[in-house]
Amino acid sequence: MTNDADAHPVRIAGYHDGPFGLSPELLDERLFWMGHLYPCAEGEAGGLMFGPGYAWADHRAYRERLWQRADWPVFTIPLAGGHQLYVVYRAVPDEVGVDYLVNHPNWERAELLARDDGHFMGPGLSWPDLVTAADNGLPGGTVADPHARLLLLLPAFGDAAAPPEAVDRLAAALRARLGSQAAVPLARAMLEAQGLTGPVRWAATENGTRINDGRYSLRNPANDIALPSYRLARVSAALDQVNGRGVIRPERISP
């Protein structure tokens, strides 16, 4: 029988060739979520998510099996205008990690938003980017559930201006996918700590490109690792189409 990966092979322009595998079954495994959300569990959030009786050996063994698969698990989330977000478990020997990318069929290469590995890069998504991509209801990706979408993208998120209602939205996702009995305090702790980078401030340049001030972010033009200005602009435009920011007047700063 032909599986989905064979029927709809994943190709990401300008990125690794894989081999990629569509792996929706992983989204139903609690150990997958524990590992995926580990970068978001700094300080108090770690204690609330894992608890004192958590079996670390099970977690490590699961992660090892994940990296040793014959294919690289990849998840796709559609955006407006034909754009798409990718979450890729990159299983390059000795360089394993999780990459977060945005692409469009007309682009010559996908753009890296964030990377979770030994050389973390990010954040790449603001709260509006994150929640609207999760809740847009667009068809065409491999992940339809809004809660799964939000948690898949969460390690790429950072935003000092996340609104108060972010706690309830994140808690609902944690309850649905992680089965957390302390979903609200866990969500609050995650939003306070915001993983490896901490909260960053988002603003717009004079030409409207959305950027942030994160010291490890590809979307901070002050960083040596930042995307070139025209690529920052197209990433911003791809996400702005989702967020409908044409009616918003964000703070403007110089690049």
Q: Stretch 154-181: mean pLDDT, rounded?
A: 96
The C-alpha atoms of residue 81 and residue 240 are separated, in whole angstroms, by 10
The C-alpha atoms of residue 172 and residue 180 are separated, in whole angstroms, by 9
Contact 71, 5 (CB under 8 A): yes
pLDDT at 178 over 50: yes
Encode pLDDT of 23-49 as tens digits: 889 999 988 999 999 899 888 888 888
Task: Tell me the C-alpha to C-alpha distance, in Å, between residue 111 and each of 53, 107, 119, 231, 252.
Answer: 40, 9, 17, 8, 23
Phi, psi of 63 (to 5 degrees): -65, -40
Q: If pLDDT is split at 50, 70 and 90, which confidence band does 96 have?
A: very high
Quote the tokens at residue 104: 């469009």
Question: What's the pLDDT score for residue 243?
Answer: 57
Question: What's the pLDDT score for residue 118?
Answer: 79
How many residues in the chain? 255
pLDDT at 242 over 80: no
Question: What's the pLDDT score for residue 246?
Answer: 38
pLDDT at 5 over 50: no
Q: Stretch 202-213: mean pLDDT, rounded?
A: 96
Closest CA to 237 of 100, 121, 106, 80: 80
Question: What's the pLDDT score for residue 58?
Answer: 76
DSSP 3-state of 127 = helix
Question: What's the pLDDT score for residue 254?
Answer: 34
Q: Compute the Cα dihedral for 204, 137, 157, 231 and give only its sign.
A: negative
Average of per-residue pLDDT values in the chain: 88
Question: What proportion of the chain, given as a percentage, has pLDDT over 90?
Answer: 67
Question: What proportion of the chain, given as a percentage, has pLDDT over 70?
Answer: 89
Q: If pLDDT is split at 50, 70 and 90, which confidence band does 2 have?
A: very low
Question: What's the pLDDT score for residue 8?
Answer: 54
Amino acid at 93: P
pLDDT at 148 over 50: yes
Task: Tell me the C-alpha to C-alpha distance, in Å, between residue 175 and each of 81, 158, 178, 182.
Answer: 31, 21, 6, 8
Contact 10, 105 (CB under 8 A): no
Encode pLDDT of 52-91 as tens digits: 766 667 777 888 888 889 899 999 999 999 999 999 999 9
Q: Which residue has the higher pLDDT, 189 or 4?
A: 189
> Exposure pattern of 199-226 as b/e (b: 16+ CB <10 Å)?
bbebbbbeeebbbbbbebbbbbbeeeeb
pLDDT at 249 over 50: no
Question: What's the pLDDT score for residue 55?
Answer: 67
The C-alpha atoms of residue 232 and residue 219 are separated, in whole angstroms, by 6
